[in-house]
Structure 1
Amino acid sequence: MVSYPNFCYKSDGRGIQQGLPVQKRGKDPRYKTTMLGFLTLFLSSVSSSFLNRYCVPTAETELAKLQRQFRLLEGNRHAYTLESRETIRRQMAEVKRLKKENEDLLRRQAVAEGHANLKQEKLRGDTLRSLLGQRDEVKQQVTQEKKRLAQLDKEIEAWQKHLASQKQATGSEFLIQEQKARLLRRIQTVENQLDKASSQFDSQLVVNSQLREDLEILRVGHDRFEQIYKNLEKELLDTRKAVGAIISTSSAAYDARDEAHARLSQLRDKAEKDLHQHESEMKELDRILDNDRRMSEFIAIKLQERMLTEEALKAKKKQEEERKKKDPEEELIESYSCTLDKILEITDTANLEFALNKYVKDEEWNFAQFNYVNEQNNQKELLWDQINQLRSEIEEVRKQDNEKEMEQLSRLQQTEAQVEAAIQETNRAELKLKGLRKIWEQLKSAIESLFWKLQCDHSMLENILGGTTTARDENVAIYLGLIEQKTNDLLAMYSYSVAEEQDQPYDTVETAQLLLGQTPAARPLSVNLRPPTAGPGHDPITEDDQRPLTHEELKEKVLKDVLSKTAALSIKKNTQTEVASALPGTNTSKKQLPVS
């Protein structure tokens, strides 16, 4: 068992494995990351074991190997920490989004299940059920009327048969005439009953047709409601699909980004590990080469020292003299043997075969080391190219993610702004509609009050509206027409009374201008023509009376003067009985009337 900080591993014949349960190793992402790290560590150990065959491991190499393993484990732990944080962040974002969607759905459900909508649906259902019940009753009544008509036809045939039998039985003319008269009365009674039943049947048919029209209107409204409901439901489904597609796309983008981050971190760790391994191997090779160089220098120095000795000089002279005596082939063989002795002495071997084997092994080892170094350099360059490519791809993905997020954010802001503007516009329209409804109701009540205060002819209103004497939206124009007619009559009577009071001829032009709401031309009237009166209810002339009057003030003054002088005019002129009869009981109303 090998222990490291924050991790626990066990070693067996197949390598190093993490101490996790067997059923959870395939699902835990830590297992995958750790196995990749240990696979790299195992490969580096295998490559290092090849070096350890030919060189003795030192404390520095062992320490470097342990430090490299420690760095790998630290990198794995750091990668797992980052991955856990990213997973927790994505889960929290998903929880927030689901909570927001749940609140939105609950709010929509509350709006759909509102009291107003339920009440309206209930009223429509009750109305439809009552109309269906009335239709069944009308059908039953029609069936009964048909049965009564058939029964009456049978009775008529029976009476006709009875009349024929009576004619045959009775021979007197008087009895025949009496029976004819009785039969005619009976026929007239039956015809009256038939006419009454026909009129009832016709009225019932009219009601039935009206009910059919109401049912058709309700059916059209129901179909329209169903269509709107289906459209809204379809729009909701499309919105949910779009949201789901956006969520899936975002999740895929996040997963791809996380995978790219993980792959980049793995490649970085692998590159750093390979770089450290390459540096350590290069150091080892430099050390071996330095050792070989020193050995070669040492051997060269030793050979030089031997050659410089006197014995070597004497032997050399002797060999030269003997070489001169011998033939060239012997000299060549002798030089080869000397060279072979030197090689055996340098290689410290007993025979030439061992020296050749050692030389071949050294050359093979040097060539293998050279190929390994070249391969590591090529792999290093390839890894750096892949790292640069991954960095460019990651930057491109980040750029695309930022652009998509900005685009989605702008769309969301635009949609929220449109929804907010629509809500505000709806609220303003509802407030304006409520205000206008309130003003309209006040106007209708004021018009109705003015109608009754002016004592307009309501018989015409009853004839037109069929007995309805309440101001509604559809009959306000009729009320205004009658009020205008009554006002014109009052203004004409006022003009006539003023002319009679001032002993002046009745001016029709001035009356027409007064009826049209125009101010007549100013006349130079003398102050003495209208002396002040001391009668009750007469206000003294003030400075306000000298200014022009508005339309409302003019109406108020006209009504006030007419009501105060009705009694005097009725006594003075018998011809004004119509005025006196048209204005009874109005002397108590001296307040300002509401004007439409």
Structure 2
Amino acid sequence: MDKLQNPDQLDMELMAEAELARLQRQHRIMEGDRKAFLDEITNKLKKQRKIILGLKRERDELMADIKVATCDGQKRKDSDVSTKLQRLLQRHEEVVAELRKEKARSDEIGQQVKKTEKKVAQMRLKEITDGEYQERIRSGRKSVQMLENKLETTVKRFCTVLTENRQMREEIDHLLIERTRFNAIWEKLLYDFNTGKKLMLDLIEQATLAYDQREEWCSKLQALKIRAHNDVIVHTQEMREMQRQLDHDGKLREFLTIKGQKRVMRDLEEKEMRKKEQEKADVEKQVKLYQTTLDQIKEFCEENDIERIAAKYLKQEEENFALFNYVNELSHELEVLNESISELQVKIEEQKEIAEERAQKQKETLDTLTQALEEATQRADGDEEVLKETEKELAQILEGIKDVFDLINCDCAPILDLLGENPDVNEDNVMVYLGLIEKKVSGLITTVYFKEKSEEDLYNIKGQKRIMSDLERKEKIKRMEMKEKLQQKLDHYSTMLKKSRGSQEKAKRLK
């Protein structure tokens, strides 16, 4: 057993020794690493301490700088520096803007210079010879003369048109005043007519109401008449009955007085007895008749008291008499109203005739005014056509000025800025063209004058003055006269053009 266990123990010991050696080696390595790490840590700590010291110094310096910077003097300096910086920035922006403007101006000037150079080159290409120049002068003279004639005729026509237009305007103003008067009269007549119509309608309504009331009261009056007639008949019958009763009572009284006398007559007594019985029977019949009549009256009046029936009858009689009087008054008023209605109808007919006559007169006046307005409108249309023709002639005159401008080869470079994009002759820039033409003609005259004078001086200095022939002298005189005439015509043409522009402005105002 010991022999068997020994190898195992040896192995275990060997393994333990190997493990111990490994651990010792690892311990030595770790110890070396620890020393190296400690050295490295100490070096890093030294460096970090140095950095911390440097940072502390920088912090102290910064705190000192902050204290210095936060003082009042430093703040004032900072504010001054900031204001200076703002001014410099603003000045920088202004300078940049001025540079841009100057650059744009230089570009525009360069473009204008290029345009001017192109136009100068074109004008140099358009230079003409003396023959063409003379031909153009002759054609320009003819065109100027034609334009002057046309302008004169146009001005005359325009003046006549203006006078006619003024007369027409005065007539139109007069017609407008008449129209306002007519409208005022028409409104007044309409107001009067409406008032009369309203009054007539009120009267017709009142008459209709009165007529209806008259019919109603007539029917009531007829009923009252019938009732009164019946009452009269009844009263007459009652009066007759009462008279008969009264006669009967008188006879009875007479009979009783006679009978009261003592007279013994048997036959007479028997007759008297029969007569009394007969009278008694008659009285009973009469009483019965009265009783039946009274019962009928009670039944009709629905009243049993005789005194009340009598009072009611008297009251009814009074009411009937009052109604009778009222009906008489109404009939009288109806007669008066009928008379007034007939008078009003006559007046209404008269007013209708007067209104028809006025309406006819107003219609005739309105037709006359309408015709006059149509004539004035036609005249105004004619004046507008004349004005259009005048504008056409003015356009021809402007074209003639352009031809003269091109004929004498005027330079339009000085007025390029004034002309803008429209180099044609128009009403706004015609005076500019005339001024250039006048300057050009004056320059030509001056050039010719100095040229002739220099030639004469040259001839005098050299002593070789020659006698000019009559033909050359006449040619020069004609040339000078032609220049003077051209100058005079240009002056006259400019004045006529000013007058034409003034008349055209007046025509526009009249429009």
What TM-score comes out, normalization by structure 1 length? 0.28
Whose relative contact order is higher, 1 or 2, with alpha carbons under 8 Å and at least 6 apart? 2
Q: Which has the larger radius of gyration?
A: 2
TM-score for both structures, normalised by structure 2: 0.32
